[in-house]
Amino acid sequence: MCGIVGINSKNEFYVRDAIKRLKRLEYRGYDSFGYAYGSSLYKKTGHIVVPSSDDKTKRIIAHSRWATHGGVTDANAHPHVYENVTLVHNGIIENYQELKDLYLRKGHKFLGETDSEVAAHYFAEKLKEKDMINACSDFIHDIKGEFAILVLVKGDQNIYALRRDSPLVLGVGTDMNFLGSDIYAFSDATNMAIFFENDEFAVVGNDSFQFYDKHGKKISKEVQTFRWEQEESMLQNYDHYMIKEIMEQPKVVKRLLFSLDTEQKEKFHEFTAEMKKAKKIIFVGAGTSYHASLLGVYYLHRCGKAAQTIIASEFEHFIDVDEDSLVIALSQSGETMDVIEALKYAKARGARIASIVNVPYSTVQRMSVISLNILAGQEVCVAATKSFTNQVALMLALAKEFGYKVNMESLPQQIQSVLERSGSVKDMAMGLKDNEHLYVLGRGLSYPVAREIALKIKEISYIHAEGMMGGELKHGTIALIEKGTPVIGLVSGKDNAMLSNLKEVGARGANVITISNEAAGDIRLETSNDGKFGILASIIGQLLAYHIANAKGLPIDKPRNLAKSVTVK
Farthest CA pair distance, the chain: 77
The 280-285 sheet, strands edge to edge: 308-311, 280-285, 325-331, 352-357, 370-373
Closest CA to 363 of 388, 394, 342: 342
Residues contacting residue 371 through CB under 8 Å, at least 6 positions apart: 267, 354, 355, 356, 357, 364, 365
Q: Look at residue 12 and give its three-state secondary structure.
A: strand
Name the DSSP letter for residue 312: G
Residues contacting residue 209 through CB under 8 Å, at least 6 positions apart: 170, 172, 177, 194, 202, 203
Strands 159-164 and 169-172: unpaired
Q: How many CB atoms lie within 10 A of CB 283?
A: 25
Contact by Cβ (8 Å): 557, 533:
no
Given the residues 400, 456, 558, 564, select the one marked as catalytic. 564
CA distances from 136 to 28, 85, 178, 385, 450 (A): 25, 13, 19, 40, 48
Q: Give the helix, strand, coil percentages of the chain, each rounded to 5.
A: 35, 25, 40
Given the residues 2, 126, 532, 558, select the one marked as catalytic. 2
Residues contacting residue 255 through CB under 8 Å, at least 6 positions apart: 229, 375
Closest CA to 536 of 490, 495, 500, 498: 490
Any catalytic annotation for residue 564?
Answer: yes
| CA separation for the pair 100, 335 (Å, rounded) | 29
Torsion 295-299-300-301 (CA) sign: positive
**Catalytically active residues, by annotation:** 2, 564
